[in-house]
Chains A and B, each alone.
Chain A
Amino acid sequence: MNLELLLPEMIIAGTAVLVILLDLFGGRRAVTIASLAGLAAAFGVTISMWGGDQQFIFNGLFALDGYALFFKLLFITIAALVILASVDYSSRFKSSAGEYHALLLIATLGMVLMAAAADLIAVFISLELVAISCYILAGFLKDRKSTEASLKFVLLGGIASAVLVYGMALVFGFTGETRLAEISAAVQGLSAASIVGSPGLLMGMVLMAAGFGFKIAAVPFQMWAPDVYEGAPTPVTLFLSVGSKAAGFAVLLRVFFSAFSLPQALSSDWGTIFAVLSAAGMLLGNILAIQQGNIKRMLAYSSIAHSGYILVGLAAVGMSASASAPGQSNLLFYVAAFTLADLAVFTAVIIISSKLNSDLIEDYAGVGRRSPLLASALTLALVSLIGLPPTAGFIAKFYIFTAAARNSLLWLIILAVIASVISAFYYLRVVKVMWLNQPAGDERITASPAPGLALAIACAGILLLGVAPALLMKLVEAASILGS
């Protein structure tokens, strides 16, 4: 047993414990620095593993492949940027700083494990680790709205987990295996007629899709998202929107690709399911976002819509799972680009809203005059979310649509591009309010160093990926080969 292969996970877990202890002696600052240092160490160790052999560890419980490493790097980066972005905000929490950081780190640990999980049991355990930490984090403000958000999240999340477990149990019942590779072998051992003729297996698949759909806020399992996003502390909303969503996609893609990609009849079945979910998400998310007055609620619907765009990639994977280039890399690229843009948007919102003391879009009037730099950064991030060049969002959309075009999903592309036109309307409304409306006050809004740094990193990433995406594309191509 090679324990050193789990070194990043152990470092994160150790840092979480350390942070709680440190909270007793050191101040808020020490806690932040310790968390960042732990994440940096985990990041370094993960990078050193890049390019190594694909292998399964702990009796096939976890996979160690380019795919897992890519997501581990992504999650660690997200966690670090979220911690940076919440430096000022966390002073509002009534509990101590240690608790907040420890919970974030534990959730990150869960996400990192999710990226590698190659067994249904590991999938479920790591998923719950993330979910339970996030339930607590959502209620961290301990005011009315935050508590309500947390409670809703727990109740609906619990149901989703139950559905997921039920689906897993059915799949186990019909294949007798929990390891993804073994499930795939068992499914391929069945004749095509018996797969179609066994509603139990298909039912298991559909229930699992529903359970994961909840985690990624795909329509029609998105009900929780707007309320939780609005009520939760904004840094936690950011974490949910990029971190736990990306983790959901990581595990969703791995489970369906590794376990159910063959035979083709089966994978095009779930490909169609995800195509429909994707279309519903893009349209509903974008249309409902239009009427939102609260920027966090608007971003919740935007996040639902973007889950729809990412599902375009998953649908393409399903349609061509047996082909040579099924399109995982396109999906990974989109996840990375969306993560950057959403990080930038939320970080800017954290900075601006805490100065304005309001999350209402109308109160953003004149931010362009009060802080041209922050408003420019937010504008850039919103433009990336619309998917206009020269930003990462544009390349990501183009790239994920090429996967769909290869698989004759032209109808889905047309729906997706129409949905992006709809989305331009509400994103640009924020831009308009910021730059064209008269400000309520003259006081300048400035970013403190830590959130400012997080924002600058995210914005630089957006521009870099928009102008020179070749680098990341090479990376995601390398990461798109899943161990089996």
Chain B
Amino acid sequence: MSANYLSALLFLPVTGAIIIVLVPRLSARLTRYIAAVFTLVPLVIAVCLFAAFDRSASMAGAVQFEQSFAWIPAINANYHVGVDGLSLPLVLLTSLLGFLVVLISWKVEQKVRQYFFWLLLLETSILGVFCSLDLLLFYVFWEIEVIPMFFLISTWGSGRKEYSSIKYVLYTLFGSAFMLAGILSLYFATGSLNIIEISQGGLAMLQSVMPAAPIFFLLLVGFAVKLPVFPLHTWLPDAHTDAPTAASVMLAGALIKMGGYGMIRVCVSIFPQVAQDYAPLMLTLATIGIVYGAAVTLRQTDLKRLIAYSSISHMGYVLLGIFALGELSLTGAGMQMFSHGLVTGLLFAITGVVIHNTGERDIGKLGGLAQQIPAIAVIFTIGGVAAMGVPSTCGFIAEFSVFLGAFSSTAADGVRIFTAISLTGIILAAGYILWLLQRVFFSPALEKFNAVHDADRLEKAYCAVFIVLIFFIGVYPTILTDVFKLGIEPIAAFFGG
């Protein structure tokens, strides 16, 4: 009956959301506690599933905790969920962030019930994307996510929030429109919506002559918008910058990972040959993303926007790892997704505290905060160091695996050149992080910030969770790589590595 645990994990947050909306005259305080409970329990389940996951080599590529029953028989669609080595860590990450964002949002005072309703609905939809093994179900969860994010940004955001939220929606829908066409063609070509079945059956399942490359690209556009891949990235800085802190954490931490996950799960594993043929193109885009993203980050003057742009660069590593098509590089891509979720989650969370406490987000007007708010400065510095990929943090392991894996990969042409160029991203990252830390925290103290409060106990607590995990995974990465490997092996086997 273990399968039901996964479904429980999936639907607990939305159950909480429905309770919050339906119970009349719920106080703000009680709403927060309900939200906390309905995200903590899924987190506990996720940890248990992670512990119970069978890591033996014979389970490579196998789906565990599976559950399946007919949903719409007329089109052969099933409610089919399960996790393998690729999705399980992302499920864990999402449920972790899902709980932490409730704590991060503890101080939200405006329309509290609506706020937590959307936040919990968002968590279920992201979890659903990672758990679904049926293309229609996958797409349903993929699309549901748009509405909560629209409301979160447009109602509780700041700055040009209405512009950013509608831009986010239109970009996402634009991408998923192509994805829908891709899913339909795939369905028409194979007669199945089962992701595992299609990727194992491969081209043998094609019942009709339909060129694979167009389907591959239709699907890829949807994922590329989400990851985001240059040149489809322009929604990201706006959305991240104007979103409320918790939504930024969810967006950067879990949501954009849907893009990378989808690329591996759907594009690469169903169309390995096409992926190999077009790898140089994708590697070019990855390299541009890494270098361009990092270079633009250097020029940012808004604290949140700076971290948003750094995400573009970091997601470039994911794309590089995926389309280098080696086992190590794909594992590295998975690690980078997990690590970026923690690191950027921490950075957005602490940035939210800085902006909230100082009332200032312009880097030029901030300065010398290390003296006034030492705890925040320490937390921010640790986050920054992890984002730079300093050894002993998870960022290091992730980037190292991506680069080593990409450099040694034999599957894609010219991958070494792309890797070499991408390495400059690391130098640029060190540049923008250190420069940021120096300008905001380690310059001479400014008098106007003398009265600024440091992080309170709750803020220190959730930041501590992030920090512990960042170092734990940095020191003991095997706990994740073992799991990722099981999911990656069958995919990498096609490319002989």
Give A residues with C-beta under 8 Å from B. 329, 383, 388-390, 394-395, 398-399, 401-402, 404-406, 410, 413-414, 417-418, 420-421, 424-425, 428, 432, 435-436, 469-470, 473-474, 477
Contact = CB atoms under 8 A, between A and B. Distances in A.
A421 B144 CA distance: 15
A390 B184 CA distance: 18
A420 B146 CA distance: 14
Most buried by A among B70, B141, B169: B169
B278 interface: no
B196 interface: no
Contact of A424 (B141, B144, B173, B178): B173
Nearest to B184: A405
Contacts, number: 86
Given A425-B166, A432-B166, A436-B162, A388 B184 contact: no
21 contacts: A383-B147, A388-B144, A389-B139, A398-B75, A398-B180, A398-B184, A402-B184, A404-B184, A405-B185, A414-B177, A414-B178, A417-B178, A417-B180, A421-B173, A428-B150, A432-B166, A470-B71, A470-B73, A473-B72, A473-B73, A477-B74
Interface residues of B, number: 33
B177 A432 contact: no
Nearest to A431: B150
Contacts of A383: 147
Nearest to A383: B147
A383 B147 CA distance: 9
Interface string B65-79: 000001111110000
B408 interface: no
Nearest to B73: A470
A404 B218 CA distance: 16
Interface SS, A side: helix
Contact of A413 (B74, B136, B170, B181): B181
B145 to A, nearest CB: 10
A413 B151 CA distance: 29
A410 B154 contact: no
B487 to A, nearest CB: 26
A388 B75 contact: no
Interface of B: 70-75, 136, 139-141, 143-144, 146-147, 150-151, 154-155, 162, 166, 169-170, 173-174, 177-178, 180-181, 184-185, 187-188, 218
- A-B pairs with the 5 shortest C-beta distances? A417-B177, A473-B74, A405-B188, A389-B140, A405-B184
Given A405-B188, A432-B162, A436-B154, A414 B75 contact: no
B177 A389 contact: no
Contacts of B143: 388-389, 394
Given A398-B136, A424-B173, A436-B154, A469 B72 contact: yes
A414 B181 contact: yes
A364 to B, nearest CB: 15
B170 A421 contact: yes
Contacts of B141: 389
Given A388-B147, A401-B184, A435-B154, 14 more contacts: A398-B184, A399-B75, A401-B180, A402-B187, A404-B184, A410-B181, A413-B180, A420-B177, A421-B177, A424-B170, A425-B166, A432-B166, A435-B151, A470-B70
A413 B214 CA distance: 14
Most buried by A among B74, B144, B150, B174: B74
A204 B218 CA distance: 40
Contacts of A389: 139-141, 143-144
Contacts of A405: 184-185, 187-188
